[in-house]
Amino acid sequence: MQLSGLAPGDWVTLNARFTPDAECLVSAEGDVLTFGQVDGRVTRLGRALRAQGVGRGDRVAIMATDSCAYVEVILACMKLGATYVALNFRLAPAEVRTVLAASQARVVFLSGRYEEIIAGCFPEAGAHVRARITFDTSAGGLPTFEEFLASGADGGEIESVTTDDDILSISFTSGTTGTPKGVMQSQRMIKAITQSGVLELGIRPGDLLMSGAPLFHAGGIGHVMYGVSRGAGSVVLPQWDLELGLRWLQSGRVRQAMLVPSMIIQLLGDPRVRGTDYPMLRSIMYGGAPMPTSVIREMVEVFGCDLHNGFGAGTEAGGQLVLRPEDHRRALAGDEWLLGAIGKPAYGCDVRLLDPDGKEVPDGEIGEIASRGDTVMSGYLGRPDLTARVVRDGWFRAGDLAWKDGEGYLHLAGRADDMIVRGGENVYPVEIEDVIGDHPRVEEIAVVGEADHHWGQVVTAVVSLKGGGELTVAELREHCRGRLASYKIPTRVVVVEELPRNSTGKIHKAVLRERLAEGVVA
């Protein structure tokens, strides 16, 4: 029996007790909420949610751009033992209806810009919803966040009564089918991911952190939790914006930043980035997509800080591997091959490379990355079949392939499941193929990722048409609009007479990617 413990819901209260005047949340405009203020507001918010019948195990959905209030909702759920469900605001209306119905949320917090989309989910998809609250303005007379907060009763601390197995968050990774994958993230998982991140990045009390990733993304909320748990502050940007990002990096206040490669490339492409030094910036964590070696060298030249490259299945298994600052320094001193590695296991994560039979492969041979530890999810919501497919004998397998060199560094060799990573967002080709396959002129469709300097990868649709002819990118994008999030819509469309197939008659995507890379498919 556990006699004592500390839950994520206790983190903000702990820091409020000892450093109440320290920065906790900082808005894009520079408005500061201290740990003492945040703890008081979160406690009142928790009481307001309780008045709506929200308690341990109940679900609260959020569909909004990022804000300090958004974080406060998550912290209130942590205190109550409720489960928060952060919805990707880039989803199309049909996708939102699917995931909201699956979430069975009792309360929905939203930005006014998404009010119409959420309203379109009723009554069917919103059958469990008792209240809707807007973070800003409402065209339909919804209560605002501050009004809802003020309705919370006065009182002392809300004691966080949870166990490590309680589900803290459900993150949906797919939304176009009738059975989306809802990743259940336990209290144990979030604690372990947070502890690993704080240790790997060297987060210190009083630091100010900034993440370019949205709060619905593991990298976005994860970074904020590093700060909340360690007594450090977090700048919360509404969403990534070059002007805001550059302004905060050049403010001399940010000590640690998390950026995906497309954001870094955007920053380095702006001449103003070289207009100042960055003496207070201690490190940048990057990841989520391939990073060209030339860009890494330019980062060091411009920012002059430590670099961490994080790799992993963030939603399902946290950060699995890290290429640490000392590895980057060694690479830039001459061992440049290291910049092609994805690192060694992160703190608290065991990693192996396995063959299809689950046996570990020798160094130099390609195997599937498998990890185990407290950072692994509790499974997919209502889908034990999918859970059993990816977690076998305690090892999580996402389909990433790699090989290990003689020094213990892993090198990525591809993806077993053909997933595309565009600007840090996971894109599953089957979702796009299902939508494009409905086009009346499309005979066959294969969606693959093509390398892109800015985004890491972009979505390319290769189609054969009924009766031949042409199909423009504009036509296909219009067909997808409203059914797919914008980042999933193909950037390029290639029309071919027939698609390559393997010996069993299936479309051979590996051959297709090779042809595209060589420019022989056009």
In terms of domains, do 83 and 22 share one? yes
pLDDT of residue 428: 76
- Residue 12 in any domain: the answer is yes
Q: Token pair of 209, please?
A: 């952190």
- Residue 247 in any domain: the answer is no
Residues in the chain: 522
In terms of domains, do 122 and 71 share one? yes
In terms of domains, do 396 and 445 share one? no
- Residue 295 in any domain: the answer is no
pLDDT of residue 114: 96
**How far apart are alpha carbons 438 and 333 in whole angstroms?**
53
Domain of residue 170 covers 8-239
**How far apart are alpha carbons 450 and 421 in whole angstroms?**
10
pLDDT of residue 295: 86
pLDDT of residue 84: 98
Give tens-digit pLDDT for 402-416. Answer: 999 999 999 987 677
CATH code at position 353 = 2.30.38.10
Instruction: Please give the order of strands across the beta sheet that includes 208-211.
Output: 32-34, 23-27, 233-236, 208-211, 256-259, 283-287, 306-313, 318-323, 344-345
In terms of domains, do 348 and 365 share one? yes
CATH code at position 70 = 3.40.50.980
Cβ proximity of 403 and 365 under 8 Å: yes
CB within 8 Å of 326: residues ≥ 6 apart: none
pLDDT of residue 39: 96
**How far apart are alpha carbons 282 and 257 in whole angstroms?**
9
In terms of domains, do 363 and 479 share one? no
- Residue 376 in any domain: the answer is yes
In terms of domains, do 78 and 161 share one? yes
Q: Render 299-342 in DSSP notation, one character per residue.
A: HHHHH-SEEEEEEEEHHHHEEEEEE-HHHHHHHHTT-GGGGG--
- Residue 319 in any domain: the answer is yes
In terms of domains, do 430 and 477 share one? yes
In terms of domains, do 321 and 470 share one? no
Number of domains the chain contains: 3
Q: Among residues 192, 214, 239, which one ends one of the domains?
A: 239
**How far apart are alpha carbons 37 and 33 in whole angstroms?**
6
In terms of domains, do 339 and 225 share one? no
Query: Which residues of the chain fall short of a pLDDT of 50?
Result: 175-178, 503-504
Distance from CA of residue 152 to its chain's centroid? 31
pLDDT of residue 178: 47
pLDDT of residue 509: 84
**How far apart are alpha carbons 489 and 15 in whole angstroms?**
44
Q: Among residues 415, 442, 469, which one ends one of the domains?
A: 415
- Residue 297 in any domain: the answer is no
For the CA atoms of 324, 326, 327, 328, the dihedral, rounded to the nearest 10 degrees, stands at: 90
pLDDT of residue 78: 96
Distances (CA, A) of 174 to 177, 333, 429, 445: 8, 42, 11, 20
In terms of domains, do 429 and 330 share one? no
Q: Render 395-453 in DSSP notation, one character per residue.
A: EEEEEEEEEE-TTS-EEEEEETT--EEETTEEE-HHHHHHHHTTSTTEEEEEEEEEEET
CATH code at position 484 = 3.30.300.30
Q: Among residues 415, 443, 466, which one ends one of the domains?
A: 415
pLDDT of residue 176: 43
- Residue 278 in any domain: the answer is no
Cβ proximity of 299 and 264 under 8 Å: yes
In terms of domains, do 230 and 311 share one? no
In terms of domains, do 384 and 438 share one? no
- Residue 215 in any domain: the answer is yes
